[in-house]
Amino acid sequence: MITIPRYIVIEENGISALYDILSKLNLKNPLVISGKKTKKYAPNFDRIYYSDVNLDDIVSINKLTKDYDAIIGVGGGKSIDIGKYIAYHSKKPFISIPTTASNDGIASPVISLKQPSIMAESPIAIIADITTIEKSPKRLLTAGLGDVVSNITAVLDWDLAHKEIGEEYSESSAIFSKTIAKELIEYVVNEPDDYECNIHEYSKKLVKALIGSGITIAIAGSTRPASGSEHLFSHALDYLKIKYDLKVNSLHGEQCGVGTIISSYIHHIEGNLSKEIIEHIKLSLKKTKAPTTGHELGFDDDVLIEALTIAHKIRNRYTILRNGISKEKAESILKETGVI
């Protein structure tokens, strides 16, 4: 069954809506999960840090949550994901209070702490306080754009999987997802000013796009509308960070943005995407000062090449990478796109 959020607040000082929403949902005693830097945005209920939760110990998670009637996640992607994970295992409703807009986990029914991601429940309520979000580090707000532009290639990969291997496909979810991305890309590309001059409007549009993306995932019952080969590349980079113990602190959305530059180029070569769109994807990322090269992400060329050659093996998801690409081809694509 599709579950989508019952309450969505996207407003200045939106946090003030929390108590009314809790009362409408008849929730009285939530447990808050936050990060250390985002503790100051947490509402005044019992609270723990996400870094103190042992994700492998479900018995302790159930003990920890047994006296609470809801879980609230406050913070960036990790806080929200770990809050959602705790809510999922303890079967309590989850309320999402993002303090930034770095990825679509703020609204999706998905937990993406490791691959393959878990399909859980959508947050019952999302409170996006624009006053807090617009003041969050710019880097997080540009990473969010990377997670939105991903929808373009994710939908193309999904369509390809439908045509080439008969995978189930939802036209409504796909249209919704790519429209969200195209509108945000065009907004950024056509803004005469540096987006930092209009951070308020940008933040609002970004939050709406990320929440919309999360809802397309809920409608599809899969991350297909928002995660394709560009996400496989990002997940491959995360895998290699652990494998080689790399001290690279690139964000999910930043990696997905660079992944989208690569995947959109491959789709363009196969005739699935116009030159104008691939140029606008890159331009929108550049305008927000998001990374567009592997060097800006912090990776050496050989790691980027390896990531592109292993990306198709990260999970069972058919994409434009099909059964994988050779090291030579990966190197040539990364050079053609200016990623290396």
Ligand X SMILES: NC(=O)C1=CN([C@@H]2O[C@H](COP(=O)(O)OP(=O)(O)OC[C@H]3O[C@@H](n4cnc5c(N)ncnc54)[C@H](O)[C@@H]3O)[C@@H](O)[C@H]2O)C=CC1
Ligand Y SMILES: O=C(CO)COP(=O)(O)O
Residue 104 in tokens? 């679509």
Per-residue binding string, Zn ion, 89-128, x by CB under 5 A, is --------------x-------------------------
Q: How far is the CB of 26 from Zn ion (least distance, A)?
A: 33
Beta-sheet strand order (sheet of 30-34): 7-11, 125-129, 94-98, 70-75, 30-34, 47-49
Q: How far is the CB of 290 from ligand Y (least distance, A)?
A: 15
Task: Output b/e per residue, 253-273; b: 16+ Cβ within 10 A.
Answer: bbbbbbbbbbbbbbbbeeeeb
Residue 89 in tokens? 């295992």
Regarding 317 and contact with ligand X (CB under 6 A), the answer is no
In the complex with ligand X, which residue's Cβ is closer, 5 or 77? 77
Residue 338 in tokens? 């200016």
Residue type, 174: A
Q: What's the maximum distance between 2 C-alpha atoms anywhere in the chain? A: 59
Interface residue with ligand X, options 51, 58, 137, 324 (CB under 6 A): 137
d(CA 182, CA 209): 10
Residue 95 among known ligand-binding residues: no
Regarding 103 and contact with ligand X (CB under 6 A), the answer is yes
- Which stretch in 46-54, 68-76, 143-151, 276-284 sits in contact with Zn ion by CB under 5 A? 143-151
Regarding 113 and contact with ligand X (CB under 6 A), the answer is yes
Regarding 110 and contact with ligand X (CB under 6 A), the answer is yes
CB 23 within 8 A of CB 61: no
Interface residue with Zn ion, options 121, 147, 159, 254 (CB under 5 A): 147
Regarding 81 and contact with ligand X (CB under 6 A), the answer is yes
Residue 203 among known ligand-binding residues: no
Q: How many residues bind ligand Y (CB under 6 A)?
A: 10
Q: Please report the DSSP string for 265-314 in residue order.
A: HHHHHTTSS-HHHHHHHHHHHHHTT---SHHHHT--HHHHHHHHHHGGGS
Contacts of ligand Y in 203-232 (CB under 6 A): 223, 226-227, 231
Q: How far is the CB of 256 from Zn ion (least distance, A)?
A: 5
Binding-site annotation: residue ranges for substrate: 104, 147, 235
